Amino acid sequence: MSENRNVVLSAKDVEVKFRVRDNYLTAIRGISLDLYEGETFAIVGESGSGKSVFTKTFTGMLESNGMISNGSVMFHGKDLTKLKTDKDWEGIRGAKISTIFQDPMTSLNPIRTIGSQITEVIEKHQGVSKSEAKKQAIEIMERVGIKNAADRFDEFPFQYSGGMRQRIVIAIALSCHPEILICDEPTTALDVTIQAQILQLIRDLQKELGFTTLYITHDLGVVANVADRVGVMYGGQIIEYGNVEEIFFDPRHPYTWALLSSLPQLGVKGQDLYYITGTPPSLYNQIKGDAFAPRNEHALKIDFVQEPPFFKVSDTHYAKTWLLDPRAPKLEKPEVIQNLHEKIKKMTDKGGAFHVE
Amino acid sequence: MSNNDNREVIVSVKHVDISFDTGGKKKFKAVKDANFDIYKGETFALVGESGSGKTTLGRAIMRINPCSAGEITFEGKRISGNISKEEDRNVVRNIQMIFQDPAASLNERATIEYCVSEGLLNFHLYKDENDRLAKVDKALQDVGLLPEHKSRYPHEFSGGQRQRVGIARAMIMEPKFIVADEPISALDVSIRAQVLNLMNKLKAEKDLTYLFIAHDLSVVRFIADRIAVIHLGEIVEIAESETLFEYPLHPYTTALLSTVPMPDPLIEKNRKHKVYDPSELDQSGDPREMREVRPGHFVYCTPKEFDGYCEKATRLEKEKGVK
C-alpha cells in the first residue's frame, strides 16, 4: 500500500542527547521513520519515552541543552538537522511543518485578541495585507467551527472555552497550509466529549487540505480513532511499527502487548488489571540489549545482552524483538488481547456495555 | 447487591446545594440538589466533565466547601455546617482524601516518613516514636513500598510510587471513607493499572468505602459498584455500574458513553459519537427531581421525562431479552 506513495519526510538514525549538569542523557536512541504524503501516523508511548523530543527535531524546537548527535531528517531535499538559526527555519517551521500542543491555554497569548494571533501568522508567512489577513483569519475560524467568527475575532482567549481555544490553535497551525501537522497530545487537556469533536475536525480538515498528520499520544483509544500507521515508542526508540490494524490485532513486541493489556476497557471487574512491573530505563546509562527486557516477563537471555534488530512481520509491519527470531521460542500474546476485535465488538454491539444507539 | 435496603449507609448527601460568591449579587451554583446515599463497603463513582461540580461535591463531604442548602451525614451524624470541634476532628480522621497529582500533593521538602505520618502527628495516634515508625513501615508495605523508602524525598520516586505514598498517607489514619479525586488521571497507562489494583486490594483488606471521582467511564466501569453521572452541577443519573452501561437512560449518559475510546481501529473509526443536546429534554419547565425508574436506578427528570425513561428502560430490557 505504501510503496507507491511519496515520502514527505524521512528521518534516519536520529539520536538526540541532552546535557544535564555534567551528564549526557540520550533521549532518542536511533529512530528511522518515513512519513508518507497524506497519511496519519501516530506515535504512542508513555511519558519519558521521547515521543515529543523526537518530533521536536522536525521543527528545530529542542530545548537549548539538547542536540541532535547523529542522523538526518530529510524534508524537501534539505537536512533539517543541519539548520541552526531561526532564520534557517523560516519557511519551514510554522509554514510547512506546524505543531498543535497539548494545552491550548498555554499556547495562546492570554493578553492578545484571538484575531490578532491568527492574522499575525498569516501576515508573517504569506506577506499579505492586514485586511486580507483578517479576511482569511475569519474564513479559517469558521472552517474550524467557530460560530459568529467575525464577532468573536476581537475576543480574548479567556472568553473561549477549552475546546474552542484548541480550535483556534488548530486554525493558527493551518493558516499557512502546512504539509505536515504535528499534533502533540492535542486532546489530553480537553474533556472527553470535546475530544471526539476535535479529532473529527482534524480528520475533516486533513481530508479537505491533504496534509500529513503526525499524532503524539499515550492514549491507545485516540490512536485507534485517528491513525493509519502506528509507531510504539519505548526508551527513546520505536520498537514496533505497522498499520493500525496490525498493531492492535497482531502486535508482536512484548511492550505493545503490555500496553494493550493494561487498558481499563479490557478489565474484568473483580479481577486485577494487567500492569507492567518496574520503571522505564534511565536514559543516563548506556542501555544494553532490549530496553524493555528488565520489565518483560517474556524476556529471553539474549534480550539482556544484545539489542534486537527490526524483524519483518509483513511489508508494513516491523518489530524490534528477539521473539521474532526463528530460533526464539514461540510465544502467544497475552490472553486479554487475543481476539481483541471480537471482544470489543461484543462491548459495542447491541447489548454490550459500550453500545450506543 | 441489588437489595439496598439492608445495607448500611455511611455517607448520605441530602438535597445539597453548593454555591460560590462571584463578587456580584448573583451566586454561582456549582452543585444543585445533589441527593444520594453511599453504602458501607462500596465504591461509589462520581463521573462528569470538568466544571461539572464533581470535585466540589467531594470537597463538601471533606468539609472543605460549605453547603448552601441541604445536609451531609456521615454514619448518621450531620457533618455539614457548624459542628463541634470534636466531631470535626472525627470527620477529618475518618474521611481521607487521595489527590490527583501526586507530585503536587506531597511536600517536596519533607521526607516520605514525615509525609506519611503527618496525620499521626496531628492526632497523636501513636504511643511512642517506635510505634509511629512501625506504623509508617506498615503503611508503606501495605501500598507496596519498602520501609527503607521512608528516608527518601518525593522527587526520588516515580509517578506511580508517589501516588502510592499519597495512598499510604491516607491509609495510615485508618479511615472508614476515602474520597479519591481523579487518583489516576495524572498517571501513565501502565501505572494506572497498578494503582487501581492497589485501591481494590486495600478496599477488600480494610473494609473501606470509596467515593471515586473521575471523568473516564472506562476506568469507572472497572472499579465502581455504583455510578452517579453529574452534568453542570446536577446529578442526572445514578445506577449500579453494570446497569448504567447496559441501560443508560439520560441522554447525557449516552453521550458520555459514546465518547469512551475503544482500542479497536475497525470499530473506533466507524463509531458514531453522540453529542449531548439538552433540547431533547422536556422543556415545559416542570420541576425535576430524582425519580426511581427501576429499583436502584435513578434519573433526574420531570414527570413527563420520567414516563419516557420508563418506556426506554422497557424497550432496552426487551432488546436484551431478545438477544
Report the pLDDT averaged over residues B4-30.
86
Q: How far apart are CA A303 and CA A322, in angstroms?
A: 7
User: Which range among A121-135, A293-307, B2-16, B222-236 shows the weakest confidence by mean pLDDT?
Assistant: B2-16
pLDDT of residue B1: 43
Site of grid cell 519483518: A312
ipTM given for this complex: 0.82
- Give the residue among B106, B117, B109 at the shortest CA–CA distance from B166: B106
pLDDT of residue A90: 86
The grid cell for A85 is 538559526
Q: Burial of B111 by CB count in 10 Å (0-12 exposed, 13-18 middle, 19+ buried)? A: middle
- Looking at the complex, does the CB of residue A347 fall below 8 Å from at least one CB of chain B? yes
Report the pLDDT averaged over residues A28-43.
95
Q: Is the pLDDT of residue B3 over 70?
A: no
Give the chain B residue whose CA is nearest to the CA of A228. B265
Task: Kindly determine whether residue B263 and residue A258, on different chains, have CB atoms separated by under 8 Å.
Answer: no
Q: Is the pLDDT of residue B322 over 80?
A: no
Report the pLDDT averaged over residues A272-279.
85
Task: Kindly determine whether residue B265 and residue A218, on different chains, have CB atoms separated by under 8 Å.
Answer: no
% chain A with pLDDT above 90: 59
Q: How far apart are CA A50 and CA A44, in angstroms?
A: 10
Task: Kindly determine whether residue A351 and residue B320, on different chains, have CB atoms separated by under 8 Å.
Answer: yes
Report the pLDDT averaged over residues B163-191.
89
CA-CA distances (angstroms) from residue B190 to A17, A218, B25?
A: 26, 10, 48
User: Which range among A145-159, A187-201, B228-242 shows the weakest confidence by mean pLDDT?
Assistant: A187-201
The grid cell for A323 is 521473539
Instruction: Give B269's contacts in chain A (Cβ within 8 Å).
Output: 224-225
Q: Is the pLDDT of residue A303 over 80?
A: yes
CA-CA distances (angstroms) from residue B160 to A275, B136, B193, B212?
A: 12, 19, 10, 18
Task: Kindly determine whether residue B261 and residue A200, on different chains, have CB atoms separated by under 8 Å.
Answer: no
Query: Around Cβ B129, how many Cβ atoms within 10 Å?
Result: 8
Q: How far apart are CA A320 and CA A298, in angstroms?
A: 14
Q: Is the pLDDT of residue B54 over 60?
A: yes
To the nearest whole Å, the CA of B234 is away from the closest chain A CA by 17
pLDDT (tens digit per residue) in B111-139? 999 999 999 999 999 999 999 999 999 99
Higher pLDDT, A315 or B322: A315
Instruction: Give B265's contacts in chain A (Cβ within 8 Å).
Output: 223-225, 227, 244-245, 248
Q: Burial of A256 by CB count in 10 Å (0-12 exposed, 13-18 middle, 19+ buried)? A: buried
pLDDT of residue B157: 84
Return mean pLDDT, chain A.
Answer: 90
Taking the alpha carbons of A14, A20, A24, A25 in that order, is the dihedral positive or negative?
Answer: negative
To the nearest whole Å, the CA of A185 is away from the closest chain B CA by 13
Question: Rg (Cα) of chain A, in Å, rounded?
Answer: 22
- Looking at the complex, does the CB of residue A351 fall below 8 Å from at least one CB of chain B? yes
pLDDT of residue B2: 45
Report the pLDDT averaged over residues A257-285.
86
Q: How far apart are CA A266 and CA A232, in angstroms?
A: 19
What is the distance of C-alpha A96 from the center of its chain?
A: 17
Q: How far apart are CA B274 and CA A16, in angstroms?
A: 43
Q: Is the pLDDT of residue A342 over 60?
A: yes
Report the pLDDT averaged over residues B39-55.
91
pLDDT of residue B5: 60
- Give the residue among B208, B139, B206, B210 at the shortest CA–CA distance from B169: B139
The grid cell for B206 is 480494610
Report the pLDDT averaged over residues B76-88.
91
Q: How far apart are CA B208 and CA B287, in angstroms?
A: 36
Report the pLDDT averaged over residues B172-197.
87
Instruction: Give A50's contacts in chain B (Cβ within 8 Å).
Output: none
Helix (H) or strand (E) holding A9: strand A7-20
CA-CA distances (angstroms) from residue B111 to A139, B15, B137, B145?
A: 56, 42, 13, 14
What DSSP state is assigned to residue B279?
G
φ, ψ at B265 (rounded to 5°): -60, -35
Instruction: Give A339's contacts in chain B (Cβ within 8 Å).
Output: none
Task: Kindly determine whether residue A341 and residue B276, on different chains, have CB atoms separated by under 8 Å.
Answer: no
- Give the residue among B203, B207, B211, B209 at the shortest CA–CA distance from B227: B211
B174 SS3 class: coil
pLDDT of residue A281: 85
- Give the residue among A239, A206, A243, A201 at the shortest CA–CA distance from A224: A243
Q: Burial of A257 by CB count in 10 Å (0-12 exposed, 13-18 middle, 19+ buried)? A: buried
Report the pLDDT averaged over residues A327-346.
89
Task: Kindly determine whether residue A221 and residue B216, on different chains, have CB atoms separated by under 8 Å.
Answer: no
Residue A355's pLDDT band (cuts 50, 70, 90): confident
- The set of residues, in sequence order, having a beta carbon less than 8 Å from that of A287 and lying 6+ positions away, is A29, A235, A281, A307
Go through B17-56 and write b for each residue having 16 or more CB atoms within 10 A of its CB, e for each that does not.
bbbeeeeeeeeebbbbbbbbbbbeebbbbbbbbeebbbbb
Report the pLDDT averaged over residues A161-182.
91
Task: Kindly determine whether residue A221 and residue B268, on different chains, have CB atoms separated by under 8 Å.
Answer: yes
Residue B4's pLDDT band (cuts 50, 70, 90): low
User: pTM of the full predicted structure?
Assistant: 0.88
Site of grid cell 416542570: B286
pLDDT of residue A1: 45
